[in-house]
Amino acid sequence: MVLRRAVGTWPRRVLLAGTLLLGVAAAVALAVLLPPAERTFAALAFPVQSLMSVLVPFLGVLMVGDLRRAPHPVAPTLLAAALLAAAVGAAGALACAGALAVAPDAAGQPWQGVAGVVLGCVLVQVLAQSVGTGLGLLLRSPVVACAATIVLPLGLWFLLGVDDAVRPAREWLTPFATIGDLLSGATTALQWVQWLVVALLWGVLLNAVGVARLRRSVPAGSRGASA
């Protein structure tokens, strides 16, 4: 029910279709343009998932926007948003696999670390979606919230890169810095910890604050339905 509502309008369907088509187009283009020695599943997955992660949070913003207009339960909406993002990540991984399978002269080990990369594809989009739902809950304007899903994470990433002393903090504080690690196919224990910290900040904490703000704005008689 929640998933059907998530894509129940034409703008949302167009956004979802555009996200998937962007992933497919990027996978095909990279499979053709990359030199054979660099044509691997991981090499395709990084740019494909990065591009898709720009649009995925917009779906999260629109989904939680429904919570302001009607007393839908919050938890099922957030779960549905995560499942939708996971499906998008898996679809992007499938597009990369298909493009690589038909591309000629692939690298010597084009499928190395494929299981880890596929898991990374899903986690990248789930975290991106969490940023969208969190900011969608915090900011009333969907347009502002969608813009914030790009400006805030990337803005922090750029700010932390202006000085060598603070640049290592990128891996602990910004979603974009963790994408390459997750999609490398050889994520280390430290990189998993860094991703977990980022997920707690941009996913769990951001959404918790957003839910608290939503509950304060919901009339008292509707709070039970919005929990």
Which tokens belong to 193? Answer: 């910890």
For the whole model, what pTM was predicted?
A: 0.91
Q: Which of 138, 151, 127, 139 is nearest to 202 (CA)?
A: 127
Alpha-helical segments (H) within 103-222: 114-138, 142-159, 170-173, 175-182, 189-199, 206-217
* Closest of 54, 51, 65, 47 to residue 135, by C-alpha: 65
The C-alpha atoms of residue 104 and residue 205 are separated, in whole angstroms, by 45
The closest of 212, 47, 206, 51 to 132, measured between CA atoms, is: 206
The helix-helix angle for 41-69 and 142-159 (nearest 10°) equals: 140
Q: Residue 94: helix, strand or coil by DSSP?
A: helix
CA 125 centroid distance within chain: 3
Helix (H, G, I), strand (E, B) or coil at 184: coil
Q: In angstroms, rounded to a whole number, what is the distance separating the alpha carbons of residues 101 and 213?
A: 47
For residue range 137-169, list pLDDT tens digits in order: 999 999 999 999 999 999 999 999 999 999 999
Burial of 133 (0-12, 13-18, 19+ CB in 10 A): buried
Euclidean distance between CA atoms 155 and 7, whole angstroms: 29
Instruction: Give the pLDDT of the chain (227 residues) as one tens digit per residue.
Output: 666 767 778 888 999 999 999 999 999 999 999 988 889 999 999 999 999 999 999 999 999 988 877 767 899 999 999 999 999 999 999 999 999 998 877 667 889 899 999 999 999 999 999 999 999 999 999 999 999 999 999 999 999 999 999 999 999 999 999 999 999 988 999 999 999 999 999 999 999 999 999 888 765 444 443 33
> How does 111-131 read in b/e, with b if 16+ C-beta sit within 10 Å?
bebbebbbbbbbbbbbbbbbb
Which among 194, 222, 184, 213 has a CA at the least distance from the CA of 43? Answer: 184
